[in-house]
Amino acid sequence: MSENTVFGHLPNGEEVKSVRLVSGEYSVTILTLGAIIHQFNVPCRGSLRNIVFSSPDLAGYIGDSSYKGQCVAPYANRIRNAEFCLDGVRYTLDRNNGPNNLHSGSGNLGQKNWNIIFQTDNSVVLNAEHCAMEGGFPGNIGVTVSYLLTDGRLTISYTMVSDADTAVNPTNHSYFNLKGDGSPIFDHIVQIFADKVITVDENLIPVSAVSVKGTDFDFTSAHLIGERREGRYDHCFVFSEEKKAVVSCGGLRLTVETDRPGMQLYTGEFNPDCPSLWPHSGPFCALALETSAYPDAVNRPDFPSVVLEKGAIFNSRTSYTVEEV
């Protein structure tokens, strides 16, 4: 069975545990707080390298505005004007990102302590409950997330069920730097199998899905992150038939595969300069690859639905595979 240690204690005295998964030379550490991916250690050039942005202690995760490593649920990304209408009822959410709701506001399970319900040497299953109207979202929503490490592949599976109609859009908010040091990620080479990107207004709320062809958002062939837009991206890419992205740097290749319709590429422009397991942190120290539905989809009937009906089951899966090249 995988190894559990005490990582720290929340202000209420609750114990936060650390679970270490091992498969071959690879290891992943998961915290019960937020089901956070705390470390993802991979072999490269004769040594081990942690490729995710991490805090050295629990204090760096409590109230973390960068959401690093969290399982964000029930609803990741932005909701316009922090409100939506469902079954004729208008729900008002926390306004925690200008006029909008971001990552579920105070209802975000990424800041709750989850329960461990099953574990092996290379896997762990955790669950948490979102209580009705936390952050404004309807429904008592049960969320289960499992992490399975098979050599260099970390597979994340989500299951959600609610006792009322609600809106769900979970994601994992890990930030990656394949050099494993937190130095700027402008030299990371990115390919995204997406023929469209969702344009946004000044508040990063979706306008429309448009073709990437001939634009700075065309990653259908590989490009350096820093090659265009000064490396500044915080946009949702609409996957084509193959739902996949590939990032390469520092002798490693990271492949993201999912069943979700999109992926938010955020290059960490506002990442904090803070204590980290890396020697460097701050803006552009790592990039997030958040597989998800489209932003504000709950308010957009032209986007794939994010409504979870009472008693129905939501299932989704995303994998992150790391290989030495």
Mean pLDDT of the chain: 97
For position 120, what pLDDT does the model report?
97
Whether 208 is in a domain gets the answer no
Residue with tokens 């926390």: 94
Q: Is residue 138's pLDDT more than 80?
A: yes
DSSP per residue, 247-282: EEETTEEEEEEESSSEEEEE--TT------SSS--S
pLDDT in tens, 10-47: 999 999 999 999 999 999 999 999 999 999 999 999 99
pTM of the model: 0.97
Number of compact structural domains in the chain: 1
Question: Where in the sequence numbering do the catalytic residues fall?
Answer: 173, 290
pLDDT in tens, 89-113: 999 999 999 999 999 999 999 999 9
For residues 128-164, one letter each, b for 16 or more C-beta atoms within 10 angstroms of the residue's C-beta and e for the rest, the string is: bebeeebbbbbbebebbbbbbbeebbbbbbbbbbbeb
Q: What residue numbers bound the domain in which 42 lies?
A: 3-184+251-324
For position 3, what pLDDT does the model report?
73
Give the residues across from 282 on adjacent strands.
none
Whether 192 is in a domain gets the answer no
Q: Is residue 1's pLDDT more than 90?
A: no
Over residues 310-320, mean pLDDT: 98
Q: Which two tokens stand for residue 39?
A: 């470390």
Q: Which two tokens stand for residue 286?
A: 């790592």
Q: Is residue 268's pLDDT more than 90?
A: yes
The single-letter DSSP state of residue 56 is S
CATH code for position 123: 2.70.98.10
pLDDT in tens, 190-248: 999 999 999 999 999 999 999 999 999 999 999 999 999 999 999 999 999 999 999 99
With beta carbons less than 8 A apart as the criterion, state whether 206 and 200 touch. yes
- Burial of 292 from C-beta contacts in 10 A (0-12 / 13-18 / 19+): buried
The single-letter DSSP state of residue 81 is G
Residue with tokens 């001939």: 214
Give the residues across from 18 on adjacent strands.
5, 31
For position 76, what pLDDT does the model report?
98
Whether 214 is in a domain gets the answer no
Cα–Cα distance for residue pair 90/77, rounded to 1 Å? 19
Whether 304 is in a domain gets the answer yes
